[in-house]
Amino acid sequence: MVRVITGKAAELTRQCGRELAVAAVSARDRNKDRGIDFGNANWFDDPVEMAKSADIDVFVELIGGDEGAAHACVKAALEAGRHVVTANKALLAKHGVSLAEIAEKKGVLLNYEAAVAGGIPVIKTMREAMAGNSVTRVFGILNGTCNYILTRMEAEGLSFDACLEDAQRLGYAEADPTFDIEGHDTAHKLSILTSLAFGTKIAADDIYMEGISNISQADIRAAGELGYRIKLLGVAQKTESGIEQRVHPTMVPTASVIAQVHGVTNAVAIETDILGELLLSGPGAGGNATASAVVGDIADIAKSRPGFQHGPVFGRPARELRPYKKARMRSHEGGYFIRLTVHDRVGVFAAVAKRMADNEISLESIVQHAAGQEADAQKTVILVTHETTEAAVRKAVEGITKDGHLTDKPQVIRIERAG
């Protein structure tokens, strides 16, 4: 961010109508060589004191985490009447509404473009460019680490573990990758998009969540044979009973636009009543993507003028955001992919079919693959269902497991008829 502001100083001044300058800096170690010239910027050992300083107009928070210094700094800056720019999705997922209330009361901006989908301007689009549109669904690939792993698994036939190790080596995944690969990062970002889309309070703890650590080459190959590609999607949609939020591996048709998003790239699709479907795609992570989004937020603040009434943080006044109402379980229109590894013996297939019928699950297709020729070889059975409920699928699979026919853990993946 500092490199962009200093390196593009003249251009930013022309665009914003005023000069942007780094006035103050705070970090844990002031002696660390960061390869950046901070010029005449004041150094603060206490970031909270910097946040309240009268010498700054905008406080930029890049600390991370939903509590501690990050929360204290942002809250202090807003209460002192300073604009805030943050890339912290965890902070917003937990405290976004209360921080928005402070910002709106003080008449300052809380901008957070870099918190969701990196360099893609999805926050600005949803908050400012879609007035009059009613959103019915928002979904997308929101984590570059997971998309990189799934892309490599398909393209090179590598295992999940091998791809994860490579992602860590390249810096795409943390030493402890749990937050990314188990879906938490995507869930935080989805909760923010849900609030923008539907005018509800952020409910990051009310998201159904599955990660990609159990995706195998068997799943990747089966998806390809059926005409699908596996992506980790975050999906939020409005239903008659409330708002549905879910994060999970998903099979999408290989011909769909979302299926063509590879590597660390992110993509967000927004479905509305007026505009139809809008797809935004671009760099979802990395220093340049974050810096671009942060500087863009700072520039928007610089272009505003004293006395100008700023728009609400989440598209609607924070005090008017409705309580989140979780939707009831309903039929999943895309159906489900179910992979079962079973004993290759008489009666197994009939038992599987009966469990499906007992739970009123209609099957679109059944594929069997023998794994060997010995007396009790394993066989892979792949089922693709028509529209049915999560509860019915889980109950059927639980019954098949209790019957003692499985030799490995069953795999269940939703299918999205994504455009």
What is the pLDDT confidence band of residue 377, given thresholds at 50, 70 and 90? confident
Q: For the chain, what is the mean pLDDT? A: 90
> How far apart are alpha carbons 383 and 15 in whole angstroms?
56
Map residue 258 onto helix, strand or coil: helix
Q: Give the CA angle between residues 94, 95, 100 to the nearest 5°.
A: 140
Indicate if the pLDDT at residue 372 is higher than 60.
Answer: no
> How far apart are alpha carbons 38 and 1 in whole angstroms?
11
pLDDT at 38: 81
> How far apart are alpha carbons 137 and 151 in whole angstroms?
25
Indicate if the pLDDT at residue 134 is higher than 50.
Answer: yes
What is the pLDDT confidence band of residue 28, given thresholds at 50, 70 and 90? confident
Indicate if the pLDDT at residue 344 is higher than 60.
Answer: yes
The mean pLDDT of 379-397, rounded to a whole number, is 91
What's the CA dihedral at 285, 142, 118, 325 to 10 degrees?
Answer: -140
What is the pLDDT confidence band of residue 375, given thresholds at 50, 70 and 90? very low
DSSP per-residue codes, 207-227: -EE--STT--HHHHHHHHHHT
Pairing between β-strand 265-272 and β-strand 135-141 as defined by DSSP bridges: antiparallel
Place of tokens 């010498």: 55
Which of 317, 306, 323 minimizes the C-alpha distance to 101? 317
How confident is the model over 1-27, as pLDDT tens digits?
Answer: 788 888 888 888 998 888 888 889 998
The domains of the chain, with CATH numbers, are 2-122+287-320 (3.40.50.720), 127-283 (3.30.360.10), 331-415 (3.30.70.260)
Both tokens assigned to 218:
């068997």
Indicate if the pLDDT at residue 232 is higher than 90.
Answer: yes
The mean pLDDT of 368-387, rounded to a whole number, is 74
Amino acid at position 215, single letter: I
pLDDT at 284: 80
Map residue 168 onto helix, strand or coil: helix
Cβ atoms of 85 and 59 closer than 8 Å:
yes
> How far apart are alpha carbons 288 and 301 in whole angstroms?
20
pLDDT at 263: 92
Cβ atoms of 190 and 211 closer than 8 Å:
no
Lowest mean pLDDT among 41-55, 83-97, 297-311, 367-381: 367-381
Indicate if the pLDDT at residue 364 is higher than 50.
Answer: yes
Indicate if the pLDDT at residue 265 is higher than 60.
Answer: yes
Which residues form the catalytic set? Answer: 189
Spatial neighbors of 29 by CB under 8 A, at least 6 apart, are: none
Cβ atoms of 101 and 319 closer than 8 Å:
yes
What is the pLDDT confidence band of residue 373, given thresholds at 50, 70 and 90? very low
Indicate if the pLDDT at residue 311 is higher than 70.
Answer: yes
Both tokens assigned to 274:
């007026």
Name the DSSP letter for residue 322: B
Predicted TM-score (pTM) of the model is: 0.91
pLDDT at 419: 57
Both tokens assigned to 53:
């300083």
What is the pLDDT confidence band of residue 245, given thresholds at 50, 70 and 90? very high
R_g over Cα of the chain = 24
